[in-house]
Structures are given as C-alpha cells and as structure tokens.
Amino acid sequence: MASIKLNTSNLDFNPPDIRYQSDALNILLQDNYSTLAVRKLDALLQDEPYLNIYLKNLINKDQNFFQKFITLYQCLEILIGKLLGVELKNKICNESSSRTGYQIKNTVYEISKESYRINKVLNHYCTYQFESDYHIGAEIYAFFEKHFSELINSKSDLSNLLYELRNQLVHNYRTIIHKEENQRILIQEDLKTLVNQLEFLVAEVIVSIDFSK
C-alpha cells in the first residue's frame, strides 16, 4: 500500500449518489492536504479487464437489482476462480508427497465447491474485516427469515448466505415472479436494498484480496 498527498483545495467532488458520501471523505475534503492510502490490486487480478469495467461502468444506480446482482456475482466468480488455482497449488501441488490418493481426491472435491471458495475469499484471503462495517450477512439472513424461512439452515455464515441468495436469484427467481403482487413487490424492494449493500462489500473484497496469504 502506498500513501500520496492529495491537494483537495480545488477538488470539486459532488457524488450523484448519496451512498458514496462518507465521514472519511468529508474529512479528506476539509483538509487541503490530506493523505490518501492507495492499495494496489493483487497481482492475480491486475490483468482482469472485467474488474476495471465493473468499477468504472457496470455498477450504476440505473441498473435494476437483478442486473446488478449478476454483475456483482460475476466479480466474485472471478475471485473464486483465481482462488481455485491458488488452493490447488497450496494444498495439492505443494503437499502431494505427504498425501494419499484418497486425501488428494477429497481435497480436490472440497476445493471445487463454490460455497467453500466463497468462504475462503471472504474469511481468509480478504484482509478487510468488512463485517464490522457491512452487516450484509445479518441482512441476508433477515431476508430469508422474512420471505423464505424454509431455506434457513445451520450454515448461516455470510459465505453460505451469499451462495443461497445467488441460487435463489439465478435458479429460482421464477418463484418470486409467481407470488401475489403485494408480496412480490415487497420481496423485490428488500432485494434491491440487499444488492445495494452487496455492491460495497464486493468493492471492498476486490481491493482487499491478497492471494499470497
């Protein structure tokens, strides 16, 4: 991470979306010379053009919640795809001499599970402790408890909740469409709120991921 001096005396910053304003930003703009920490993306992500396109163009408030969720989840898929290679190298290639064939088979099976890799991205390779700022896990749990209580199980950590939300939107969205109008509108409004929060979480994960851990 590098630190640079940013002259904010003539900086005209008026974000069109109130969600992008923060106390930290206000402090930065009040001090004509403030220090701004600049974090370099992990080496495995620097050649991923989709992430640049995502950050600059794809995320905007004009997208509906379903389009935005697909965009965001594709970013997570890039991360868990990179993680697959990292985990295979660390757990198979580097330790193959000490493992039996059966152990290697089980390890490959575990690593191949999407829910496992989401969990590793969020809870191991991501250096940002986002749960202290973003309570998205509790919000997703409350959403399921309110609208799809049958989907709640003992695995209520953020990675499993995200994976279940993905399954609900990608594979079972038709069940929402077929609900009565008032219930459908309520579910869609709650989903819109969730996806807007998820936008910030994904951005934090992208800039905080460290595959060298």
Distance set, CA 27 to CA 6, 22, 30, 31, 36 (Å): 13, 9, 5, 6, 11
Q: What is the pLDDT of residues 94-145, one digit of tens each?
A: 776 777 888 888 988 999 988 889 989 988 898 876 555 557 888 888 898 8
Return the structure tokens found at 49. 């053009």
As a whole number, mean pLDDT of residues 22-50 equals 62
Q: What is the pLDDT of residues 180-211, one digit of tens each?
A: 899 999 999 999 888 888 888 888 888 889 99
Structure confidence at residue 81 (pLDDT): 92
For residue 133, which phi and psi values (nearest 5 degrees)? -110, -35
Angle at 115 between CA 112 and CA 116, to 5 degrees: 60
Structure confidence at residue 77 (pLDDT): 92
As a whole number, mean pLDDT of residues 159-171 equals 87
CB count in 10 Å sphere of residue 124: 12
Return the structure tokens found at 157. 């950590």
Say if residue 73's pLDDT is above 70: yes
Element (H, E) at 7: strand 2-7
Average pLDDT, the chain: 77
Return the structure tokens found at 93. 């290639």
Given a contact cutoff of 8 angstroms between Cβ atoms, the answer to whether 91 and 111 are in contact is: yes
Q: CB-based burial of residue 69 (10 Å sphere; 0-12 exposed, 13-18 middle, 19+ buried)? A: buried
Given a contact cutoff of 8 angstroms between Cβ atoms, the answer to whether 72 and 169 are in contact is: no
Say if residue 52's pLDDT is above 90: no
**Count of all residues that appear for the chain in the document:** 213
* CA 213/CA 135 separation, integer angstroms: 25
Contacts of 203 (CB under 8 A, 6+ apart): 55
Alpha helix locations (H) across 113-180?
Answer: 114-120, 136-147, 158-171, 173-177
Element (H, E) at 36: strand 33-38
Residue with tokens 């220090």: 35
Given a contact cutoff of 8 angstroms between Cβ atoms, the answer to whether 160 and 34 are in contact is: no
